Structure 1
Amino acid sequence: MEKIGLQRIKKIIRGIGYGLEAVFVTLLCGVSVLLCGSISWMFDTWKYLNMDELMYQLNAPITGTNEGMILDYINACIPAVIIVILLVIAVLFGMRKKKGYHLVLGLIAAASVLAAGGSLKYAWDRLDIGNYSKNQSTYSSFIDDNYVSPNDVELKFPEQKRNLIYIYLESLETTFTSKENGGGFEEDTIPELTALAQENEDFSGADPALNGGYSMPSTTWTVAAMFAHSSGLPLVLPGGANSEVAQEVFLPEVQTIGDVLEDAGYRQTLLIGSDATFGSRRQLYMEHGNFDIKDYNYAVEAGWIPADYRVWWGYEDEKLFSFAKEELLNLSQSGEPFNLTMLTVDTHFEDGWVCELCRNQFEDDQYANVMACSSHQISEFIQWIRQQDFYENTTIVITGDHPTMDSDFCEDVPEDYVRKMYTVYINPAAETADPSLRREYTTFDDFPTTLAGLGVEIEGNRLGLGTNLFSDEMTLTELYGTDRMAQELQKKSKLMEEFAAGIEPEEEEVVEENLPTALVTVYEYDSMSGQLPVQISEINDAGKGIGTVNVAVWTEEDQSDLQWMQAEQQEDGTFWMNIDVPEFNYKTGEYHIDVYLVDADGNQNIIGSTIGVVY
């Protein structure tokens, strides 16, 4: 009897063990499928996702997220998980009394681990997590050295303060105009916006091709873009600070245009057709300028729309522009200078929202139709503003917030095409110092440029990391180039850490990492030899040694004729090289020159830029 009882106990234990093994492997397989599906869905949905945005969004409030996006995730991932789990259960149940049971169990577990590992490796490479981790352990003094606080310079407003209408266009790029106008498409999808930019100021100088601001790292999603435009800073937050900023405070020591205008007595309103809580936009505008937040929730509470009305992210742009007209009439009658900041939403990825006003101009290309519809609505809105009494004393800024995240709209745009944010200043109280000059700028430059457009005199013409584009002061992009700026902005900043911690930065400069620098001099072109001499001197290698000095030269705006050369070291320590002009078909005009130092460890940094001229 004891033997029989012992055998029964062993059988029960064995059965429990089999059951636990089956449950573990089934759950492992389900988790693996969920992980693989989630990663695939993430990159299908956010084709241009980066680690900065991912880390921010993981900690920011999700309240107000488009319900369609949540349902899309559920439909894309959950059914597959359920089906696979049921299949695994069926297979294990059928094999439970057969010899190959544990072999099948092991194969399912191994396949699950391999699939999960492969997906994680894909995400690691796609998000460039290795380089992100390296940057997060490396300090750069770029922001610290170049940041100008509004508290440290004199801002002189005109006696009669001008009104501001600032319109963020969701995902709107200069890319969407025609190639003839500097875009990336055969046919212009935003013709009215193209005309507005060409008739007003986009800082393209004498060039008819549209111009716009580069979107730098940590400015490529909505709240980061709005922060960059209004503060001249990227939304760079140290590890662990995201949740605090998202839920409690939003970089309280940073001074934005909202803070500046509030101090100047402006009445400010944020008007958007989605929930302002999403992505911490409510915190940004309430804490920096004390804006009246009139979002989707406000529209419901105020009776602008029915309580059960919700499309896309809240309500569509057709209603937004209608509400904006009423809001502008009310603000203009208040007797105070006002700032109405707006954000459209119809052109959000994926493929945008087709409203009743949209036409099928581009056949089956829904996103192009939505872009064209948005362009038409904005043009009509601007025409209405121009007919109002308050227009004469009002400056209008229209700008794309960040590059589109749509997965396939730009798939036919050449990879070397330089994508910029749509930008136009209408009725500014300033004129460009050199009307013929095409400027190179980022969205950081919109901060001081907007104030200058309101007639504000800015001591030094710089705020944040931005430069007043109406002035003749060079932008950081023109000084350092976009590549170096992007490289440095991805690293940690002592100043941004102080801002995130709520610490008012000290006046002295913070230096964490010396950057290599040099003086680049271009001498007169020798037409007999066809050579343009270049000297690189006063090289500061930042203590890292000099390996080689490489020089990039190009004449075309799109850098299609870019050539790399290597400078030779002289006995006096300087480096010399000659640009062989015949290699550029004896082209006359400007030769753009970027000089890079490769240090002893193989790291390459830009150390200077200049322009040579061949007559």
Structure 2
Amino acid sequence: MKVEIREKVKKILLIIGAVLGALLSTIGTLLYFSIKWMFKTWTNLTMDELVYHMTAPLEGTNDGMIQEYLDVCAVPAILMLLLVVILFIAWRTKKRWYVVMGASIIVPIIVSGVSVHGAWNELDVGSFVDGQSTYSSFIDDNYVDPADVALTFPEQKRNLIYIFLESMEMTYADKENGGAFDKNVIPELTELAQENEDFSGEDKELNGGYAMTGATWTMGAMFAHTSGIPLSISIDGNDMNTQEHFFAGAVTLGDILESAGYCQNLMIGSDATFGGRRLYFTEHGNYNIYDYNYASENGLIPPDYRVWWGYEDEKLFSFAKDKLTELSQQSTPFNFTMLTVDTHFEDGYPCELCTDEFGDNQYANVMACSSRQVKELVDWIQQQDFYENTTIVIAGDHPTMDKDFCEDVDDDYTRKVYTTYINPAAELETTEKRSYTTFDNFPTTLAALGVKIDGNRLGLGTNLFSSTQTLTERFGIDKMESELKKKSKMMEKLGDIREVETDIGTQTVQEENIPSAELSIGDYDYNYSSLPISVTNISNVPGNIQSVMAAVWKEADQSDLQWVELYQLDDGSYYTDLYVADYGENPGDYNVHIYVIDELGTPTIVTGQTKTIN
């Protein structure tokens, strides 16, 4: 009896081992090839982009990319499963069966561990995790809420045509004109930038914008250009597949133009749902969406027509002309935003207009073709009656993710996205070459429409037509990049708004466990020229509280920023009298942000208010 039980147990364990071995072999193979394919496909992949796309809608993904993944990753995994099963069956009565079982369990664990370790280092996951556990006050200190800024539109509002160029960098120009290539791949775009405004000052070389953390993929880039902030979410944050809001607390270009009476339109040759674009542009500005699905459903293309990500740019530019002609007949000003797609990695899509100017370098041929098509569209627009009252913005969305197109670019060369403003209703206040990011496009676009911006700053952006310093000019690109990788209470307030079902219907709630406190600013004491400031109920702050500081300023550019330490009272609250005379003229709006400093000297913002002294 004991022998029979022992044999049954042995048989069960062998079956479990076989199933476990087959499962681990399959998963290990899939994981190995998936990581290898991921880094081959996205050479400049960042952790924030990966986290975003893990939560964003994947509808509309390029069919070719899906097929490539299945071929490169799924097929080897299936073949490995079949091989292990065959070996188990063939050697089920032999001792080699145990060797197969052991190898199928141990080897996949080792391979998976090595693969994950390599991916961890390549994505710099450690720094990302550190950033996710550290709050920075950079955004909180420097974010200018458009809702609090006076914006004055001209009496006759100008039309806006905003052309996002997929993966377009100034890098592709020749070295003589500020690029990194020996031969100019984008001569027409180079000419457009030099004849118009790219904020290069008196320099002939092209000048573009830095793509910062949270703005290095298409949706992140479009968000940054139009909101002045990065598309940064925590791992447990915005799930764009299920969420009904896209940074509902942010005021964007679309929101502002909608309030000003603009007719807003987005035209793209792919499915707008992909990456959350439909959600963003419908919520922020109520854009009319003209995407691949619209073209298919309305007879612009055959119902079964699909190439690349939807339809090619040759059709996009043609459809754009028709839509612009239609919009120009309306009595209301329009915002027509479009996004190209042929220059998407890998190697782009060569349409019928593409030539072999660069031989077998397909991506260069596609880039050159895009340059010619954009120039042709701009020439056409400039011939139309509506052009006189229209501003054109042309900007690359982000640096390319193509794996080898820029592999020969010198490491010392700074890659920036292509930028130019055509027919702006704004005059330059400085002839200096500007250092700027794509965040700066937000207020600069409004200024190019003739909008007067009190303080010349919106979001994290600065109006480049003004002489006001950009954040990169004030802090440097490295400092800014480092701080943007950390968490921000302001970003959580703008973005972490969720829809939850309750007994009384759907309610919008803020995420809990965010550092907070109660701030009370008393009445201004005219005798002592002071403001009493009291802070109570500090909660959810990391570490031990070493001190509490108030950041106080009046000027929009924070040039008069001062730090004031609060002292602790017996009841546990913190208090100080702010000496207002230090700010010159007393009347005005005083911005007060409260920070808790921990034992390591790390500041965490917990609350803030604006106090008006009449």
Asked if 1:462 corresponds to 2:457, the answer is yes
Question: What is the 5 A alignment of 1:25-44?
Answer: 25-44=21-40
User: Which position in structure 2 is the counterpart of 1:177?
Assistant: 173
Aligned mate of 2:425, from 395, 409, 429: 429
Aligned mate of 2:299, from 298, 303, 308: 303
Change in Cα spacing, 1:25 to 1:508, as seen in structure 2 (3 Å) is farther
The one-letter code of the counterpart of 1:381 is L
Asked if 1:476 corresponds to 2:440, the answer is no
Contact 1:155 1:458 in 2 (8 A): yes
Measure the CA separation in 2 of the matches of 1:317 and 1:169.
Answer: 10
Measure the CA separation in 1 of the matches of 2:77 and 2:248.
Answer: 44
Asked if 1:446 corresponds to 2:441, the answer is yes
User: Which position in structure 2 is the counterpart of 1:54?
Assistant: 50
In the TM superposition, what whole-angstrom CA distance separates every residue of 1:229-270 from its partner, at most 9, and x where no partner exists? 001000112342221586311111100010000000000100
Aligned mate of 1:345, from 341, 347, 351: 341
Q: SS where residue 468 of structure 2 aligns?
A: coil
The one-letter code of the counterpart of 1:46 is W
Aligned mate of 2:358, from 352, 359, 362: 362
User: Which position in structure 2 is the counterpart of 1:113?
Assistant: 109
Measure the CA separation in 2 of the matches of 1:451 and 1:508.
Answer: 35
Q: SS where residue 340 of structure 1 aligns?
A: strand
Question: What is the 5 A alignment of 1:154-193?
Answer: 154-193=150-189
Aligned mate of 2:77, from 71, 81, 93: 81
Aligned CA-pair RMSD: 2.8
The one-letter code of the counterpart of 1:490 is K
Change in Cα spacing, 1:37 to 1:335, as seen in structure 2 (3 Å) is same
- Residue 179 of structure 1: how far off its partner (Å): 1.0
Contact 2:393 2:421 in 1 (8 A): yes
Give the unaligned 5+ runs of structure 2: 498-508, 511-515, 522-534, 550-560, 566-598, 603-614
In the TM superposition, what whole-angstrom CA distance separates every residue of 1:447-475 from its partner, at most 9, and x where no partner exists? 00000000001000001100000000010
Contact 1:29 1:112 in 2 (8 A): yes
Contact 1:258 1:288 in 2 (8 A): yes
Q: SS where residue 116 of structure 2 aligns?
A: helix
In the TM superposition, what whole-angstrom CA distance separates every residue of 1:388-419 from its partner, at most 9, and x where no partner exists? 00000000000000111111111111122101
Give the unaligned 5+ runs of structure 1: 517-537, 543-599, 604-615
- Residue 131 of structure 1: how far off its partner (Å): 0.9
Measure the CA separation in 1 of the matches of 2:113 and 2:9.
Answer: 33
User: Which position in structure 2 is the counterpart of 1:290?
Assistant: 286
Aligned mate of 1:375, from 351, 371, 394: 371
Q: SS where residue 249 of structure 1 aligns?
A: coil
Measure the CA separation in 2 of the matches of 1:245 and 1:251.
Answer: 14
User: Which position in structure 2 is the counterpart of 1:550?
Assistant: none
Q: SS where residue 409 of structure 1 aligns?
A: coil
Q: SS where residue 239 of structure 2 aligns?
A: helix
Measure the CA separation in 2 of the matches of 1:292 and 1:198.
Answer: 33
User: Which position in structure 1 is the counterpart of 2:142?
Assistant: 146
- Residue 87 of structure 1: how far off its partner (Å): 2.3
In the TM superposition, what whole-angstrom CA distance separates every residue of 1:332-359 from its partner, at most 9, and x where no partner exists? 1011100000000000000000100000
Aligned mate of 1:263, from 247, 250, 259: 259
User: Which position in structure 2 is the counterpart of 1:487?
Assistant: 482
Measure the CA separation in 2 of the matches of 1:111 and 1:371.
Answer: 44
The one-letter code of the counterpart of 2:482 is Q
User: Which position in structure 1 is the counterpart of 2:321?
Assistant: 325
TM-score w.r.t. the length of structure 1 is 0.81
In the TM superposition, what whole-angstrom CA distance separates every residue of 1:355-394 from its partner, at most 9, and x where no partner exists? 0000001001000000000000000000000000000000
Higher deviation after alignment, 42-51 or 166-175:
42-51
Measure the CA separation in 2 of the matches of 1:52 and 1:245.
Answer: 17
Q: SS where residue 395 of structure 1 aligns?
A: strand
The one-letter code of the counterpart of 2:191 is A
Contact 2:313 2:341 in 1 (8 A): yes
In the TM superposition, what whole-angstrom CA distance separates every residue of 1:162-209 from its partner, at most 9, and x where no partner exists? 000000000000011111111111111111000000110000011111
Contact 2:209 2:435 in 1 (8 A): yes
User: Which position in structure 2 is the counterpart of 1:418?
Assistant: 414
TM-score w.r.t. the length of structure 2 is 0.81
Change in Cα spacing, 1:276 to 1:246, as seen in structure 2 (3 Å) is farther
User: Which position in structure 2 is the counterpart of 1:607?
Assistant: none
Contact 2:57 2:240 in 1 (8 A): no
User: Which position in structure 2 is the counterpart of 1:501?
Assistant: 496
Q: SS where residue 243 of structure 1 aligns?
A: coil
Measure the CA separation in 2 of the matches of 1:507 and 1:64.
Answer: 47
Contact 2:171 2:180 in 1 (8 A): yes
The one-letter code of the counterpart of 1:44 is K
- Residue 602 of structure 1: how far off its partner (Å): 13
Higher deviation after alignment, 250-259 or 12-21:
12-21
Contact 2:221 2:398 in 1 (8 A): yes
Higher deviation after alignment, 446-455 or 98-107:
98-107
User: Which position in structure 1 is the counterpart of 2:331?
Assistant: 335
How many equivalent residue pairs?
Answer: 522
The one-letter code of the counterpart of 1:479 is R
Higher deviation after alignment, 344-353 or 14-23:
14-23
In the TM superposition, what whole-angstrom CA distance separates every residue of 1:66-85 from its partner, at most 9, and x where no partner exists? 11111110000122112222
Measure the CA separation in 1 of the matches of 2:312 and 2:131.
Answer: 40
Q: Which runs of 4+ in 1 moved over 4 A?
A: 6-13, 503-516, 600-603
Contact 2:238 2:496 in 1 (8 A): no
The one-letter code of the counterpart of 1:21 is G
In the TM superposition, what whole-angstrom CA distance separates every residue of 1:108-135 from its partner, at most 9, and x where no partner exists? 3211110010011011111111111111
User: Which position in structure 1 is the counterpart of 2:596?
Assistant: none
Measure the CA separation in 2 of the matches of 1:247 and 1:465.
Answer: 25
Measure the CA separation in 1 of the matches of 2:407 and 2:397.
Answer: 20
Contact 2:151 2:452 in 1 (8 A): yes
Q: SS where residue 337 of structure 2 aligns?
A: strand
User: Which position in structure 2 is the counterpart of 1:389?
Assistant: 385
Measure the CA separation in 2 of the matches of 1:299 and 1:100.
Answer: 60
In the TM superposition, what whole-angstrom CA distance separates every residue of 1:260-307 from its partner, at most 9, and x where no partner exists? 000000001001110000000001100000100111111111111111
- Residue 507 of structure 1: how far off its partner (Å): 11
Q: SS where residue 213 of structure 1 aligns?
A: coil
Measure the CA separation in 1 of the matches of 2:601 and 2:119.
Answer: 27
Aligned mate of 1:315, from 301, 311, 318: 311
User: Which position in structure 2 is the counterpart of 1:533?
Assistant: none
Contact 2:250 2:495 in 1 (8 A): no
The one-letter code of the counterpart of 1:125 is N
Overall identity of the aligned pairs, in %: 58
Contact 1:246 1:279 in 2 (8 A): no
User: Which position in structure 2 is the counterpart of 1:231?
Assistant: 227
Change in Cα spacing, 1:246 to 1:338, as seen in structure 2 (3 Å) is farther
Contact 2:269 2:340 in 1 (8 A): yes
